[in-house]
């Protein structure tokens, strides 16, 4: 029997403010945290998923730490900063379910992540992170992290969640994200992010560029159209079930990532992993907020 998986999901856990009608709702979320939770829900109990971030020493950070642990995600690699606080974001949802965000994260505790190096990552065999993870790191820490990954021998999983406001300019984002792609073993790009950042005109151009950088395993997320395998030679293209109702698209891609990885890392079957990820995303877009209730 294969050894149990030890997976580190790296990034920023945030306080989430949303509204149910006129009633404000406070929750916790963040792109890689969302994925960690859905990944944990889709893995056997013998496997371990842990979150890697930096929180403060305040009461909200304590609640956030408890939330993560209550979801079954390990908190042993979370560091605490003595004075900085977690970031906050607010979700604004349009009538058709599309979302936009307002952020208060410029001085969050997560921006001090890896200030003491990368030793906390040594116990893990799989490392998952996103372009948001890269964007919040200081430039020197970002470069050191990518250098460390290159020689780490870990299985690298990357999602190019491109958020232009987090980057000083397009060229910096392109350089860092290209480097990350070239280190990636399992890729989870979204077609709209890739087109926006690298000016690809078609899905095929996105696939060709990623393949040329060595990214041939994983899924290209296309929203309601359903995913495509990065290895187009597999010939898998659905059809995929359509959403019965779209309430809130928050975490659609993150939940896909978690469910896809849960299936693929356990059985290696791409068709099953694509379908599992898509069905999880359908459930998530039918509810408000990033994290559905665990049933």
What CATH number has the domain bearing residue 205? Answer: 3.40.1190.20
Task: Please tell me the total count of domains within the chain.
Answer: 1
Question: For residue 157, how many other CB atoms are within 10 A of its CB?
Answer: 27
Quote the pLDDT of residue 1: 55
Tell whether 203 is covered by a domain.
yes
- In terms of residue numbers, what domain contains 38? 6-285
Is 274 within a domain? yes
Question: How much of the chain is helix, strand and coil, in % rounded to 5?
Answer: 40, 20, 40
CA-to-CA distance for 60 and 67, rounded, in angstroms? 10
Output the six-digit token pair for 111.
């921006």
User: Is 140 among the residues known to form the active site?
Assistant: no
- Helix and strand element counts for the chain (H, E): 9, 13
- For residue 187, being part of any structural domain is answered with yes
290 is a domain residue: no
Instruction: Give 266's strand partners.
Output: none
Task: Establish if 216 belongs to a structural domain.
Answer: yes
With b for 16 or more beta-carbon neighbours within 10 A and e for fewer, the 189-227 pattern comes to bbbebbbebbebeebeebbebbeeeebbbbbbbbbeebb
> Is residue 88 domain-resident?
yes
Does 292 map to a domain?
Answer: no
- The predicted model scores a pTM of 0.94
The pLDDT profile of the chain, 295 residues, written as one tens digit per residue, is 578 999 999 999 999 888 877 888 889 999 999 999 999 999 999 999 999 999 999 999 999 999 999 999 999 999 999 999 999 988 777 777 676 778 899 999 999 999 999 999 999 999 999 999 999 999 999 999 999 999 999 999 999 999 999 999 999 999 999 999 999 999 999 999 999 999 999 999 999 999 999 999 999 999 999 999 999 889 887 789 888 888 878 789 999 999 999 999 999 999 999 999 999 999 988 887 778 887 5
Q: Residue 97: its pLDDT value, please?
A: 65
Catalytic pick from 31, 159, 193, 254?
Answer: 254
Residue 1: inside a domain: no
């Amino acid at each position: 029997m294969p050894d149990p998986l030890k997976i580190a999901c790296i990034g920023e856990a945030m306080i989430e403010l949303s509204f149910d009608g006129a009633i404000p709702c406070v929750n916790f979320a963040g792109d890689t945290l969302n994925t960690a939770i859905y990944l944990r829900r889709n893995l056997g109990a013998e496997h371990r998923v842990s979150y890697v971030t930096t929180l403060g020493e305040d009461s909200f950070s304590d609640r956030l730490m408890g939330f993560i642990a209550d979801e079954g995600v390990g908190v042993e690699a979370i560091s605490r900063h003595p004075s900085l606080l977690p970031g906050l974001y607010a979700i604004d949802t349009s009538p058709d379910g599309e979302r936009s965000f307002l952020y208060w994260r410029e001085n969050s505790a997560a921006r001090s992540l890896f200030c003491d190096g990368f030793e906390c990552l040594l116990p893990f065999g799989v490392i998952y992170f996103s372009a948001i993870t890269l964007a919040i790191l200081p430039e020197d820490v970002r470069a050191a992290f990518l250098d460390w990954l290159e020689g780490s021998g870990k299985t690298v999983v990357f999602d190019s969640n491109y958020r232009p406001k987090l980057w000083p300019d397009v060229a910096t984002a392109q350089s860092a994200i290209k480097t990350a792609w070239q280190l990636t073993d399992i890729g989870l790009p979204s077609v709209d992010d890739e087109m926006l950042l690298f000016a690809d005109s078609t899905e095929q151009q996105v696939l060709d560029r990623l393949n040329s950088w060595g990214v041939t395993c994983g899924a290209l997320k296309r929203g309601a159209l359903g995913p495509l395998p990065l290895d187009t030679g597999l010939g898998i293209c659905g059809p995929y079930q359509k959403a019965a109702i779209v309430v809130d698209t928050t975490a659609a891609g993150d939940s896909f990532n978690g469910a896809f990885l849960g299936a693929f890392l356990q059985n290696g079957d791409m068709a099953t992993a694509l379908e599992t990820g898509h069905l999880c995303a359908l459930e998530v877009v039918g509810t408000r907020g990033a994290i559905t209730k665990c049933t």
